[in-house]
Structure 1
Amino acid sequence: MTAATKAAPDAYAAVTEPATLTIRRLLPAPVERVWAYLTEAELRRRWLADGVMDLSQDARFELVWRNDSLSTPTDPRPEGFPVEHRMESRILEVRPPVRLVFSWGAAGGSVAFDLTPMEGGTLLTVTHRRLAERDAMLSVSAGWHIHLDVLAARLSETPMPSFWSGWKRLKDEYAGRLPD
């Protein structure tokens, strides 16, 4: 899949169990390269969030989002979003280069990244747990979707989608896709 490819139905996040979203993407890179984009701050900041990780069980780290850097200057940030967002996390499980799980937010949520080698690249499965409120699910679904679009563009070295306009469009699309 290239970044220029329109999102196919299987590119969307789905509610896979109560309060859990799962999104899968076939990325155009080997497992080791995708792993580097998940775990190395310099690469991760180019598609998700900055923050140095010590890849050891229970290690604490901070994620720092600056999503304006993923958007064009003419694509304004939606009202209510800060220029920078910080979140304390800790490593819950790490099995290089195929599985990374870390805590997400104060509510006890978590995000798991599972990498599977496939012909043509790597299947990345992102599972985000403990999203009990629908508004959180809509925002997080759109967020993971557009962040993964940016990651695919980085890996394939194609033009990136503009983050904020993509996020807004996807949030509206997810409102019609996710259960009430």
Structure 2
Amino acid sequence: MIAAIRKSEGTYIAEFERSLKHPAAKVWSFLTENEKLKLWFSELSIDNLVAGGIIKFDMGDGSFEEMTILEVHPNSVLEYTWDKDVVRFELATVDGGCKLTLIEKITSLNDHTPRDLAGWHVCLDVITALLDDARLENRSEKWKIWYERYREAVDAQAWID
């Protein structure tokens, strides 16, 4: 399902939801343990998992962009800066597993927004596949499909504004 995109108090909110048949602690490990994080977002690594700690984004050229952890509650909430935006993962225990919600607070819509949203969408699909001991084939093809859908969604949101 495509993320819901809405405007709220001068910012945009993209909200993704996944119902997972796994306990929150297992899902949390994929969000916070570097060896598991690398499986779905190879450029990210966590230096210190505390509020004020740093998540590094490997730019691939020997440099790193540092993102600040804003909020962390084990097995529940991880929030950090993402350039000028904020990314928040929330886990809620439900019967038979947990609900994973990814919220991106976007300062302004631009040409890069659909790329990021498609990327997050595929990342969540990869996490789901990893948890299910499956494999998501051809991530780049999946990304292209979702990119078109998010480009349309962002264009529609910009039109509404």
Give TM class, smaller chain.
0.7 to 0.9
* Counterpart for residue 139 of structure 2: 163
Unpaired segments ≥5 residues, structure 1: 1-10, 66-81
1:127 to 91, 103, 115: 103
* 8 Å CA contact retained: 2:77, 2:91: yes
Q: What are the Cα deviations for residues 102-130 of structure 1, in whole angstroms up to 9, with x where unaligned? A: 1111x2x1101000112232111111112
TM-score norm. by structure 2 comes to 0.84
User: Between Structure 1 and Structure 2, how many residues are aligned?
Assistant: 152
2:113 to 137, 145, 150: 137
Q: Matched residues in 2 for 1:39 and 1:111: separation?
A: 14
Q: Matches of residues 99-118 of structure 1 in structure 2 within 5 Å? A: 99-105=77-83, 107=84, 109-118=85-94
The answer to whether 1:46 aligns with 2:39 is: yes
Which has the higher mean CA deviation after the structures are superposed, 115-124 or 83-92? 83-92
Cα offset for 1:63? 2.6
Cα offset for 1:159? 2.3
1:175 to 151, 155, 160: 151
* Counterpart for residue 62 of structure 1: 56
Q: Matched residues in 2 for 1:121 and 1:54: separation?
A: 27
* 8 Å CA contact retained: 2:46, 2:54: no
Q: Matched residues in 2 for 1:84 and 1:24: separation?
A: 34
* Counterpart for residue 98 of structure 1: 76
> Which of structures 1 and 2 has the larger relative contact order (alpha carbons within 8 angstroms, sep 6+)?
1
Provide the secondary structure at the position in 2 that maps to 1:36. Answer: helix
Provide the secondary structure at the position in 1 that maps to 2:27. Answer: helix
Unpaired segments ≥5 residues, structure 2: none
Q: Choose between structure 1 and 2: higher strand proportion.
A: 2
1:15 to 5, 9, 17: 5
TM-score norm. by structure 1 comes to 0.76
* RMSD, aligned CA: 2.1
Q: What are the Cα deviations for residues 136-175 of structure 1, in whole angstroms up to 9, with x where unaligned? A: 3211111111111111000001121321111111111222
Q: Matched residues in 1 for 2:86 and 2:37: separation?
A: 18
C-alpha distance 84-160 of structure 1, shift in aligned 2 (>3 A): farther
